């Protein structure tokens, strides 16, 4: 269910991923936790960087679904700008 929410939010902005999966064994400096593992497609990453020069591929230690949706919401809308891959 959460993966569908993430994919839906990204597709509304024209963003695609090379990887998107829930990792139940994500190693952090303090412990092993469950978190989303996300890698934007190269096309989406380049289009976002062109649309927003301040863009950095932010990667927190732990990605829960709410954090992922907020991060996607903060990215430029590639469809509206005509830059969707």
Residue 64 has pLDDT above 90, yes or no: no
Task: With a cut of 90, say whether residue 41 has pLDDT above it.
Answer: yes
Residue 4 has pLDDT above 80, yes or no: yes
23 by DSSP, 3-state: which?
strand
pLDDT reported for residue 62: 62
pLDDT tens, residue by residue, 16-39? 999 998 888 877 778 888 888 888
């Amino acid at each position: 269910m959460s993966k569908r929410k993430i994919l839906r939010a990204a597709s509304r902005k024209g963003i695609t991923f090379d990887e998107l999966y829930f990792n139940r064994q994500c190693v952090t400096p303090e412990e092993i936790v469950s978190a989303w593992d996300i890698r934007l497609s190269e096309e989406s990453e380049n289009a976002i960087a062109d649309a927003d020069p301040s863009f950095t591929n932010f990667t927190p230690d732990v990605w829960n679904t709410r954090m992922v949706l907020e991060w996607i919401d903060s990215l430029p809308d590639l469809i509206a700008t005509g830059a969707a891959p």
